[in-house]
A and B are shown apart, each in its own frame.
Chain A
Amino acid sequence: MGTFLENLVTGAALGSIYALISIGMTMVYGLLKILHVAHAGVYVFGALLGLLAFRLTGSILFAFPAAVLGCALMGYLLYRFMYRRVQDEKPLIPLIVGIGMFTAMGDAYRLAAGPYSISFEHGLAQTGIVLGTFHISFNQVLVIGSAAALLVLVWLMVNKTKTGLAWRASAQDREVAMGIGVNSNYMFGLNFMFGSALAGIAGVLVGLYYGAVNANMGEVWAYKVFVVMVLGGLGNVTGTVIAAYLLGLAETFIISSWGYFLPRDAIAFICMILVLILMPNGVMGKRKQV
């Protein structure tokens, strides 16, 4: 029983991280139909900025605002000076721009931070809740708790605010939304900033969760986010969140029961293939009306 509960917590923590990273990319896809590969680079930027702020101030409380502000700015600049120039081209062109940006960012981080993992250790990492043989660490509480709070924030933002309404309108039909007075370029920029800020928080959380930050920690994410997006039905925020948690739990329980008969990321891709065969519109998808 203790093992089952621990796996549940481990899976939920992984799912929380997956969700926070994927939301930004899903929002961009939902609005602009762009596969924003450089999003994984924004996530690493958040981790590095958070670490820098932590090193300078000695408190993890400063790591989060630093990552949020830095990544939001980076997201905006990426949109303003990169994607905005190509947003009306064929989808392949923004994709190539994204890949190029991601590669450049990866190398820049390596030059700035060095090629190896850097410690991101805060004093509370080893504390936690113990109930018999069942342990929850402070890190897991931190990750799951912050993700839950942020997801509620995203939900309120998308469903309860005027900006959220404009966002949904633009996602459904850009031209009509523009026709009724939604400033779409403004929406797109805001969208990039918001998603990037979430990725930045995810970067800090991952750094704290594993106690380490690495310049190449975004490499897996550059493609793994696609899996979460496809599982969730491309561009569907709620679906993406559900898919992220399902994937985190699936990975954890499969590894716990059968070990690594497949690498962790292969599990994700097999889930994606199964979903594409069985429910091609994602876990939240509805059959298209014919």
Chain B
Amino acid sequence: MNLQQLNQISESVQEKHGSCLKRVGVCCGAGCISSGSTAVVDSLKSAVKAKGLEDKVEIFPTGCMGACNQGPLVKVDTFNETIYQKVDAENAVQIIEQHVLQDQVIPSMLLFSDSDPEPKVRADENSFFQKQVKVVLENCGLVNPESIEEAIHAGSYMALHKVLTSMKQEEVIYEIKKSGLRGRGGAGYLTGLKWGIVAKFQNAIKYVVCNGDEGDPGAFMDRSVLEGDPHRVLEGMLIGGYAVGAGKGYLYVRAEYPLAIKRFEQAVKQARSFGFLGKNIFETNFEFDVEIRVGAGAFVCGEETALVASIEGKRGVPRPRPPYPAESGLWGKPTLINNVETFANVPPIILSGHHWFSKIGTSKSTGTKVFALTGKINHTGLIEVPMGTTLREIIFELGGGVPEGKRFKAAQTGGPSGGCIPAQFLDTKVDYENLVSLGSIMGSGGLIVMDESSCMVEVARYFMEFCMDESCGKCVPCRVGTKQMHDLLNKICQGEAASSDLELLEALAPMVKETSLCGLGMTAPNPLLSTLRYFREEYRAHIIEKRCPAGVCKMKTAQNKKKARV
């Protein structure tokens, strides 16, 4: 494979697109598939066939388009990108007959037509899309993730070509360092710095690992990227491999993501047959191959040392750091471990340069961040915004606010390792430092919105239960500490706690945070600590007044107990 061939593939795809009357993309992300988008694809295809237009109208699957709770989504995609929502096998035919053949838009099916009195014909005019800046999700929802030719047409493997044919290893690392890109898995370590550490080990076997063990409740960013644009992640890993001097890469992905596994596997096979994996990539000496390792359903395996143990075939438990995997990772060798989204940021940085990237976002947190919006929010879905966008913009402009006119109460970021941010901080600019100062973390990008009907003690209990269940059991503070904290929170939620129980909780939380072996235990008290910080009044109501202000917790009060006895 060389540049000429790459361009040829791109041109032939361009030609094919040009000969089409219309191209119709159907969202085939996990969300839309579960609401029936495969039937929509079949229906669209047979409708086109019935009209004898197979050559003129292309029906193709795409990755996630973003507005997940409006699915299945269909994008009619020539010049004015119209998205139709809640399409089923029957009204799909209407899209072909009216929009594709007669250029008549169907207003009643337009995206957000059930909430917006004037639904937009051009999907990107919706407030949901307007403030988004798509770097990672550039091709997601536009390109057929199952076709490498389409990916090449969309620009994939151009950055790899640039790196292999015109950049030295240290130049690649310099570019990533200068871009200010930080790890998107949660901790926010400078990616370029990590690459530099792995690269400095001379004459060693090295590995690249892509961490796709996304496990936070309510998070689906990495899943969507893997499902929607697997070639971009693969290309990022290849560039990382070249920069640090590794010859082998692993994608560690959880078994609960079968579609992501399938699409990535497919991408690896295609890349191998096109010569992007294997020996002499782009006619250079660079050699690289990728293997997929599927996790067995343990949240802790997202922690990098547990992930390494799991890939090695051992029990997935963490070990103390240092040494960090960058020095001693897979089989004791220097190993570069980055998150899916981090790798997906690499190709555009290489192509457009660090100046372009560092202009997006804030000075300390550059670039964009993909968020999975869930909970009590009108537009559930996948968004990508520049770092430094305020919570208010994300929740009320993009997310369309809280449904049923209820009052916003808190936003939970960072999953079980994060915290709850109350309404008074809605104008905080979202970046790594600001979220930490509020007692939460960026995390991998899950954003759960809660309204007045959510009980914050119950939220803390829920996340503590999650951590308790997912604790590997190796170290005492996490194994027993999360269990004790969970039981105490449970007691509070049932109205059976005394003030002394709260004191115990407040003694345990900092201890578990400071003494646990890995990130799971170290961050497990965060949801508890942040809700205590901002919603202490609710804890007080549960303990003293035996009352749940949000009306969520079922109190075992004296009266209820009597009733139960009768």
- Real complex partners, A and B? no
Chain B: residues with CB nearer than 8 A to chain A? Answer: none
